[in-house]
């Protein structure tokens, strides 16, 4: 249905678009397409797409159909197969802040330890 024309179309206006797409058309061919099945929000801003009919009138649906022809070819699948976890710390120095006594915990014995305060002054 179109806002100015209370007419229900018995066919898809944009054949290449997903069946569950919601669309809004604004001035100068600006668009918002929301597709729940893909988790996408497609926003087009700028000037008209430049598609005109024989009478010279703008035909934004032609641009939308070509846009969705392109978007349907994109592979937007997940890139990570498993959830990554943060690595265990190599060295743990505590308590922080301290009144002068430091505790150091490490899986390996460090060959050298340098401690600096918040101003960058070396301690120890």
Domain residue spans of the chain: 1-76, 91-118
Q: Which two tokens stand for residue 64?
A: 């939308």
pTM value is 0.50
DSSP string, 51-102: -B-TTS-B-HHHHHHHHHHHHTT-----S-SS---PPPPSEEEESSS-SS--
46-104 pLDDT tens trace: 777 677 777 777 666 778 888 899 998 987 766 666 677 777 767 788 887 777 788 88
DSSP-derived 3-state class of residue 122: strand
């Amino acid at each position: 249905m179109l806002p100015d024309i209370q007419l229900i179309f018995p066919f898809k206006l944009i054949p290449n678009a997903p069946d569950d797409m919601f669309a809004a058309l604004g001035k100068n061919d600006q668009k918002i397409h929301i597709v729940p099945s893909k988790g996408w929000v497609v926003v087009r801003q700028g000037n008209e797409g430049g598609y005109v009919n024989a009478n010279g009138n703008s035909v934004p649906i032609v641009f939308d159909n070509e846009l969705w022809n392109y978007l349907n070819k994109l592979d937007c699948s997940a890139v990570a197969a498993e959830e990554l976890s943060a690595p265990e710390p190599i060295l743990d120095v505590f308590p922080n802040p301290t009144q002068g006594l430091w505790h150091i915990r490490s899986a390996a014995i460090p060959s050298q330890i340098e401690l600096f305060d918040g101003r960058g002054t070396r301690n120890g």
